Amino acid sequence: MTLLLTFIQKAIGQGVAILFGASGEIVTEKSGNLNLGIPGIMYMGGIAGLMGAFFYEKSTETPNGAIGVLVSLLCSLIASALGGLIYSFLTITLRANQNVVGLALTTFGVGFGNFFGGSISKLAGGVGQISVQTTAAAYRTTIPGLSKIPVIGTLFFSYGFLTYLSVIVAVVMTYFLKKTRRGLNLRAVGESPATADAAGINVSKYKYVATVTGAAIAGLGGLYFVMEYLGGTWSNNGFGDRGWLAIALVILALWNPDHAIWGSFVFGGLYILYIYLPGLNRATQELVKMLPYVVTIIVLIITSKRNKQENQPPASLGEAYFREDR
């Protein structure tokens, strides 16, 4: 029983960063933009938040956790939104190939994170010496009282606020996309930008806002991983393939943020399943790690065979929009 509770708790912890990334990518893809730069943007959001907290704590003898959280949140949102803005300018304004720009942004973001992570490591006294304990402790603060309840407290109330924020963001995004006029306009832009344009919808504006907002949300996944999951430390290439899992989760969730909630926790469980399976060698561990992608492929095949419109990606996904002169 204890082992099962630990596994579920760890699976949820693994899934939060993936959920942030998937929620951000779903909003982006609903506008017709395919941002493969999400893994790099998560790195940018993580290292920017860590740097903000590091320099804040270094500047005062008695750092305040709440201020550290605000500073790191702001830095993370700005850096990841900037990554989304770069992507938007190149793909929407300049109409560059979205796949190429996204992959280039991922390469840039990983390098950005590792470079500045190494730089502040030297300032902190060496590799692995970065520590923002006060800010990290604030991120890891659980709900008082409720987290002490046996079983229920462990499963539902033993997480920091970013875990609950990830679920709230997904629910709000679902409501926005399905129940609001702006959400329906955004979906119209993703399905047929020419038709949306003819109806008076500013296609470029919706694409820019959705892509930058999506990038900012994804960046929170990087911040969560650094602050809450790792406890305020940095490890080069430490995110692994969580960014790519976030993109895969978009397909598993059928482009619905609410489906991404349970999907992220399933992915989180599959991602760490090899730790709990006895008798695996290095080769079989890597095979088990492939399970999230295998599940995604299976879901993609099933949904393609059913051919339901609501289970398909936006019709203009990955395509640049060229407005015809009238």
Q: Out of 72-76, 116-120, 204-208, which region has the weakest mean confidence (pLDDT)?
A: 116-120
Is residue 127 scored above 60 in pLDDT? no
Q: Which residues, including other chains, have CB under 8 Å from residue 33's CB and lie 6 or more apart?
A: 87, 88, 91, 92, 98, 207, 210, 211, 317, 318
Q: Residue 240's pLDDT is what? A: 83
The CATH number of the domain covering residues in 2-311:
1.10.3470
Is residue 123 scored above 80 in pLDDT? no
* Residue 288 CB neighbours (<10 A): 16
Whole-Å CA distances, 287 to 13, 148, 293, 294: 22, 37, 11, 10
pLDDT tens string 54-107:
999 989 889 999 999 999 999 999 999 999 999 999 999 999 999 999 999 999
Instruction: Return the domain boundaries, the chain.
Output: 2-311
Q: Out of 98-107, 210-219, 238-247, which region has the weakest mean confidence (pLDDT)?
A: 238-247
Higher pLDDT, 67 or 296: 67
Q: Which residues of 100-129 are buried (b: 16+ CB within 10 A; e: fewer)?
A: ebbebbbebbbebbbebbeebbeebeeeee
Q: What is the mean pLDDT of residues 119-148?
A: 81
Is residue 130 scored above 80 in pLDDT? no
d(CA 31, CA 206): 7
Is residue 326 scored above 50 in pLDDT? no
pLDDT tens string 5-16:
889 999 999 999
Q: What is the mean pLDDT of residues 236-241?
A: 85
Q: Residue 65's pLDDT is what? A: 94
pLDDT tens string 152-183:
888 899 999 999 999 999 999 999 999 999 99
> For residues 111, 223, 131 and 142, what is the CA-based torsion angle, rounded to 10 degrees?
-160
129 pLDDT band, cuts 50/70/90, is: low
* Residue 311 CB neighbours (<10 A): 16
d(CA 39, CA 109): 8
- What is the average pLDDT value for the chain, to the nearest integer? 91
Taking a C-beta distance cutoff of 8 angstroms, is the pair 208, 92 a contact? yes
Is the pTM above the cut of 0.75?
yes
The length of the chain is 326
d(CA 210, CA 5): 37
Is residue 280 scored above 80 in pLDDT? yes
